[in-house]
Structure 1
């Protein structure tokens, strides 16, 4: 199963929006979703704090700021086909 990881932090409206898109797509295209709160991780906060939410598919950075539902579906299908 494909793993999707989202780096986010509390009180982030773009993060909430991205999570809604991920959950909507997950109803049709199964994947494992891991949420990482970077607020408590100084290293990740320094690296990604200005880009959140950041979404990784199969360990590769796929989106930052906003998640496009159509593109997410396309990338997940491509990852499943590997």
Structure 2
């Protein structure tokens, strides 16, 4: 997967989720991310893709998009097993 945009790389959170209001896939993804991060002790943050024209242009059709350590990890759905594996690796 590719490196994320500057806004993702600037976050101090290990996991960043690009989402938007009213997105049921985003709600599902955030539920998985919150659960896994609570268990692993890692931090996460949510970024509204519609608040930044460049993010919206680049990721509009992929939302939700999940980044781990600044690199794109998943889009549309978050695979809990893959996320745990990514967080087990050194940041």
Deviations 1:19-61 (A, max 9, x none): 0001111121111211100112111001001001001000000
Tell me the TM-score normalized by structure 2: 0.82
Contact 2:13 2:45 in 1 (8 A): no
Q: 1:51 aligns with which of 37, 45, 62?
A: 62
Counterpart of 2:49? 38
Number of residues of Structure 1 aligned to a counterpart in Structure 2 = 80
RMSD: 1.5
SS at match of 1:28: helix
Q: In structure 2, how many angstroms separate the alpha carbons of the residues matched to 1:21 and 1:79?
A: 20
Gaps of 5+ in 1: none
Q: Which has the larger strand fraction?
A: 1
Q: In structure 2, how many angstroms separate the alpha carbons of the residues matched to 1:16 and 1:7?
A: 11
Gaps of 5+ in 2: 1-11
Tell me the TM-score normalized by structure 1: 0.90
Kindly report structure 1 stretches of 4+ aligned residues shifted beyond 6 Å: none
